[in-house]
């Protein structure tokens, strides 16, 4: 079994940094009202190693300190990471691991059961692209993935099949809920917040009548601008010094 203490110093430092980030980001799930009880998880790939960090299963968000974040290899097997050997990683670990193995550009994965996104998942209905925020963030509709049972590669396969070649960073797994991906865990958490927001707004809009879809050329322009122009660019003040 891989022992964390036997790994190179730079890998151990990268694991420690990922544990800090993943522990802190779990607080965003209840803060943004994306989860009840312990029903959601965040993971992040460890830079420069075939490892990722994920929360332990069924532990209260209040108790998710960096030192209880579980370290797994890309098969989803917990390594000897210094935590109690009885501490089990998230029940969705196999799904996260499958995504990291098959989507090398992905550095973070999030799963929640947030109410509105999960309501669309229960209907197995994609959220149509009727909001500029959707075009900006997801570049089109939020797709639905197949129904898959928890515990093996099935969920991961469904996520990868649905999101490979899609601009969407979110998939609604049928009858289950949203899974989101990003370049790192923070980006995947942002996508989880955004998918819930747009699922809620489009649901409310449909109570008023049928929302109007945005033409594809406008979706493309909005996506291009948001991904490449929106926000702050260039070196930070620290980098300029
Ligand atoms: O969907 C499920 C279980 O049915 C999971 O997403 C849990 O709701 C969260 O599990 P842990 O990450 O705490 O194992």
Buried b / exposed e across 133-153, counting CB within 10 Å, b at 16+?
A: ebbbbbbbbbebbbebeeeeb
The Å distance, Cα 4 to ligand 1 centre, comes to: 26
3-state DSSP call for residue 179? strand
Q: How far is the CA of 60 from the centre of ligand 1 (A)?
A: 12
Strands (E), the chain: 40-45, 51-54, 70-73, 108-112, 144-145, 170-173, 177-182
Delimit the domains of the chain by residue range.
4-228
For domain 4-228, the question of CATH label 3.30.750.24 is answered with no
User: Could you read off the pLDDT tens digit of each residue along the chain, which spans 241 residues?
Assistant: 999 999 999 999 999 999 999 999 999 999 999 999 999 999 999 999 999 999 999 999 999 999 999 999 999 999 999 999 999 999 999 999 999 999 999 999 999 999 999 999 999 999 999 999 999 999 999 999 999 999 889 999 999 999 999 999 999 999 999 999 999 999 999 999 999 999 999 999 999 999 999 999 999 999 999 999 999 987 766 666 6
Beta carbon of 39 within 6 Å of any ligand 1 atom: yes
Query: Atom 4, ligand 1: which residue's CA is nearest?
Result: 150
Residue among 88, 95, 111 to mutate when testing ligand 1 (max atoms within 8 A of CB): 111
What ipTM was reported for this prediction? 0.96
Q: What is the pLDDT of residues 21-60, one digit of tens each?
A: 999 999 999 999 999 999 999 999 999 999 999 999 999 9
Atom 1 in ligand 1: residue holding the nearest Cα:
39
pTM: 0.96
């Amino acid at each position: 079994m891989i022992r964390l203490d036997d790994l190179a110093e730079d890998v151990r430092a990268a694991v420690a940094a990922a544990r800090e980030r993943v522990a802190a980001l779990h607080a965003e799930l209840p803060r943004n009202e994306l989860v009840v009880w312990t029903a959601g998880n965040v993971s992040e790939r460890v830079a420069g190693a075939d490892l990722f960090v994920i929360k332990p299963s069924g532990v209260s968000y209040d108790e998710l300190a960096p030192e209880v974040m579980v370290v797994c290899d890309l098969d989803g097997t917990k390594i000897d990471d210094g935590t109690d050997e009885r501490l089990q990683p998230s029940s969705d670990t196999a799904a996260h691991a499958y995504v990291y193995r098959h989507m090398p550009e992905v550095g973070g994965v999030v799963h929640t059961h947030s109410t509105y996104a999960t309501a669309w998942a229960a209907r197995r209905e994609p959220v149509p692209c009727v909001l500029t925020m959707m075009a900006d963030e997801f570049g089109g509709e939020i797709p639905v993935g197949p129904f898959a049972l928890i515990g093996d590669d099935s969920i991961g396969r469904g996520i990868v099949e649905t999101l490979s070649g899609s601009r969407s960073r979110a998939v609604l797994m049928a009858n289950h809920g949203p899974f989101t991906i990003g370049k790192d865990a923070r980006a995947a958490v942002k996508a989880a917040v955004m998918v819930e927001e747009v699922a809620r707004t489009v649901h409310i809009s449909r109570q008023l009548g049928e929302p109007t879809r945005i033409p594809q050329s406008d979706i493309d322009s909005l996506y291009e601008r948001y991904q490449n122009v929106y926000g702050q660019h260039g070196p930070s003040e620290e980098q300029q010094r």
